[in-house]
Structure 1
Amino acid sequence: MSNATTGGREAPLRLTSEYPIDALAPTIEILVDMPSLMLDMLSLEREGRQHELLERRKTFRDLHPGLFSAYIRMR
């Protein structure tokens, strides 16, 4: 699908035999856990609980290095 037919946006990913849902399961699981992890880290920052915060940051880094990098740049 070209960008012209989608109004300049990328076409959404369609689940086909090329992209089976089972292959996406780890990514989906990370995205589901991410908001909870982010809220935990923000709470720990606010409460000054540095040891627990470092543990959560390591988990976050392991789950999604790109998002972790963006998060750390804002700190």
Structure 2
Amino acid sequence: MAIPEPFKRNFETLLRAAGQGDLALLECADAVTGKPRYVICAVGREADAYVMTPFGHLHDGNPFEAYVPPA
């Protein structure tokens, strides 16, 4: 199964942000449960404000138990 193009573009954006030192780890609240989530964000600027673009969150627990790699 191929990775969809929008996900590839988002990953490339994430790599560029990392290469430029424009990543942040933010504590946010889960929109459904309200529990804390630790979110990886790209940091940009819009006029005088910072813009945080979320890309994903760090997994609670053991990620090796949560995901199955491709065969």
TM-score, normalised relative to structure 2: 0.33
Richer in helix (by share): 1
Richer in strand (by share): 2
> Which structure has the larger Rg over C-alpha atoms?
1
TM-score, normalised relative to structure 1: 0.32
